[in-house]
Amino acid sequence: MIVFSFDRDSTVDVNPIEPSQTVVPLKWIQYLAHDTDNVVWAHGNQQLKEEAVIPGKRELVAAYTERWGSPVDHVNDRQYKHMETVLETQRDSQPPDPDVITAAAEYLKRGDLHKHQILRLLQAIYPDAEKYVCVDNQYLGYVDGWEYHLPHEFVKAYDYLGADAEAAAVNMDAVRRSKLSTPTTKRRRSAALIRQLGRYAPQSVKEMVDITPNNRIPIRLRRKR
């Protein structure tokens, strides 16, 4: 599995800096994301999330939270805010560096993450990836562990993707419909919490409602027989 991360503006053909510029075709990104075993993320303009139906900043911080807990809590638990505390985790992978955890906490407070922080956080989320490939018109080659390409360099190095993407002809309408029909993590958690609380509800309440695994309407009135 390869982790790909793309910028958008002046990098992808939906918004080239000029018509003559060699940029990454959106179809290539869609193909990588939806017809291969790789994972693809948006680290620049988040409009690319909708265009390619891929995750971005919000989903990345959510993935961190699901694995290691709230980054805000981790920062608040420090004796000194600039020093990291040991995180309790049952997983084999190591949590991100302290400043990346701080950045994730700041994102939840202020809504921003720098590109290099996103890349480093992706490495923590996917520690066993074969490699990490970043494409951006701004230089990010200083981020350790990433294979960095300018857009035209990526197009040249991965030119085989053109034929593969054409042959695959990913049906993006079907991808979008599938995404809309898939319960979000937040909805799944809400439903799970409601079902868990339901075990402790009084019998009179249990007799009035059904607590079901339905993620859209986890509680419904029980029909009279």
One pLDDT digit (tens) per residue for the chain, 225 residues: 999 999 999 999 999 988 888 999 999 999 999 999 999 999 999 999 999 999 999 999 999 999 888 888 888 877 655 544 454 444 455 667 777 888 888 888 888 899 999 999 999 999 999 999 999 999 999 999 999 999 999 999 999 999 999 999 899 999 998 887 765 545 544 444 444 444 445 555 444 544 444 344 444 444 444
Q: Kindly state the greatest CA–CA separation across the chain.
A: 70
- CA-based torsion, 158, 115, 67, 192: positive or negative: negative
pTM assigned to the model: 0.74
189: left (phi over 0), alpha (psi -120 to 50) or beta: alpha
- Identify which of 121, 141, 103 has the alpha carbon closest to the alpha carbon of residue 43: 121
pLDDT in tens, 32-42: 999 999 999 99
pLDDT tens digit string along 58-69? 999 999 999 888
pLDDT of 12:
97
CA distances from 45 to 1, 116, 137, 140, 223 (A): 24, 14, 12, 15, 48
Q: How many CA atoms lie within 13 A of 146 on its CB side?
A: 28
What pLDDT score was predicted for residue 92? Answer: 53
- Look at the chain and count its residues: 225
pLDDT, position 80: 58
Half-sphere exposure of 190 (CA within 13 A, CB side): 11
The confidence score (pLDDT) of residue 138 equals 96
Single-letter residue type at 30: Q
